[in-house]
Amino acid sequence: MLKVIIIDDEEDARYLLRKALEENFAETVQIVGEADGFKKGVALLQSVPCDVAFLDIKMPDGTGFDILKTLEDYSFSVVFITAFDRFAIKAFEFSAVGYLVKPFKTSDLTKTIDRIINQRERTSKESAPFKILLESYSEQKIRKIVVPNADGFTVVMLDEIIYVNAVRNYSEFHLLNNTRVLTSKPLINYDSLLSEQGFFRIHHSYLVNLSHLKAFVRSEGGAVKMVNGDLLPVSRQKKSELMDRFL
């Protein structure tokens, strides 16, 4: 049974989340407390043990991030709750931290609870993703991405990525230091994340960092040479769009 605390300044938002948890996860979740702001939220989390905390990002007297900074050391899982905020959502995606967007769907909540149950089977607390999230959100700039892998995750600087290629349903990151990072997420996930960060999908199997593209080679139907010497194919459909980026 997961013990849950909800911290949100909006009474209606707390009610809807509580109702959804009680109706859909009665055998999995027990709500042990609620608070309507930063100060009360900190006091509640310091006095009542819990497994999961749902934290609103923006509240009149502070943010969900402020709560974590104040607590410093905590063992519960965190799910951030946010109204639609394009940059905040992007920051969550790049840091691989759980979040719900108001108004949320029951299916989204189900995925979140399932993810938390799986994560809590791990013995170590993974704080790096939260640090990446706080850094990105406070600076309003994406510099790093958290890449899940078989051992947990790897934090990668965006400017160190040469390209990402599909390996069946997995993706493999090729980095400037000649290392590779394999993740179980498909390439389409990273295409949507990185397309606004200077990356371009040249082929159904390749997503390249345009900053590390060294040359275009017309032979063999068209290919690009990357800074590490790798020659990658460019699909016919993508060739003209790629050329437009440079000409």
Give the range of the structural domain holding residue 179, as residue numbers without chain letter: 144-246
The mean pLDDT of the chain is: 87
171 and 239, same domain (yes or no) = yes
In this predicted structure, what is the pLDDT of residue 247? 65
Q: How far apart are CA 181 and CA 199, in angstroms?
A: 17
| pLDDT band of 128, cuts 50, 70, 90 | low
Q: What is residue 168's DSSP assignment?
A: T
128 and 148, same domain (yes or no) = no
Give the residue from 89, 109, 139 where a domain finishes. Answer: 139
In this predicted structure, what is the pLDDT of residue 126? 53
Of residues 141, 170, 142, the one with CA closest to residue 156: 142
Give the residue from 104, 139, 174 where a domain finishes. Answer: 139
In this predicted structure, what is the pLDDT of residue 127? 62
pLDDT digits (tens, 9 = 90+) for 13-45: 999 999 999 999 999 999 999 999 999 999 999
The number of residues in the chain equals: 247
Residue 175 one-letter amino acid = L
14 and 99, same domain (yes or no) = yes
Q: How far apart are CA 64 and CA 8, in angstroms?
A: 9
Q: Sign of dihedral through CA atoms 78, 79, 84, 87? A: positive
pLDDT digits (tens, 9 = 90+) for 137-182: 777 778 889 888 877 788 899 999 999 999 999 999 999 999 999 9
In this predicted structure, what is the pLDDT of residue 148? 83
The CATH number given to whatever domain includes residue 11 is 3.40.50.2300
Give the residue from 81, 114, 139 where a domain finishes. Answer: 139
Q: Sign of dihedral through CA atoms 28, 121, 112, 45? A: positive
Cis peptide before 103 (omega within 30 of 0): yes
Tell me the pairing of strands 29-35 and 161-167. Answer: unpaired
In this predicted structure, what is the pLDDT of residue 84? 64
171 and 84, same domain (yes or no) = no
Instruction: Tell whether the model's pLDDT for residue 79 goes beyond 70.
Output: yes
The CATH number given to whatever domain includes residue 213 is 2.40.50.1020
